[in-house]
Amino acid sequence: MMNQFDHVLAHEFILIELAIRTLERDRKHIDIFKAKYAMDALFESTIQKALKERIEIKNRMGKIGMSLQEEKRIDEFATDYLFKQRGLTEKVTYSNMALRNHTNMKIQSLFGI
């Protein structure tokens, strides 16, 4: 059973993963901007910052034997994440709307907003 600190770590990992995916997906659409080279550089530096943060979080997870085993979108309203920690598994269910809101806040913090 994960304790409160483990849940926070799992939450941080989920958000950084979603932030990276979102930034990489959005980066494909920056051609519409007149300042596309500046936007590309901004996205690149932000993605690199997020990747470094993900490495730090994964290292912290590794120290306690935790890993994400599965991410499964149940329906349009919820997503399940299955974490394994030292042989024990725990399912965490998130509202997709809450994930979207938290991911947006994470991206804002990565941009320094």
Tell me the per-residue pLDDT of 24-61, one tens digit each, with 9 for 90 and over: 999 998 888 888 899 999 999 999 999 999 999 999 99
3-state secondary structure of 100: helix
Does 1 score more than 80 pLDDT?
no
Q: Give the pLDDT score at 71.
A: 95
Q: Give the pLDDT score at 70.
A: 94
**Phi then psi dihedrals of residue 5, to 5 deg:** -65, -35
Please check whether residue 83 is in contact with residue 67, taking contact to mean a CB–CB distance below 8 angstroms: yes
pLDDT in tens, 7-20: 999 999 999 999 99
Task: Report the Cα 4 to chain-centroid distance in Å.
Answer: 19
Q: Give the pLDDT score at 3.
A: 87
pTM exceeds cut of 0.85: yes
CA distance 19 to 34: 24
pLDDT in tens, 77-108: 999 999 999 889 999 999 999 999 999 999 99
Please check whether residue 79 is in contact with residue 59, taking contact to mean a CB–CB distance below 8 angstroms: no
76: domain range? 4-111
> What percent of the chain clears pLDDT 90, i.e. is strictly above it?
84
Q: Give the pLDDT score at 99.
A: 96
Q: In what order do the strands lie in the sheet with 66-73?
A: 66-73, 78-85, 88-95
Domain count, the chain: 1
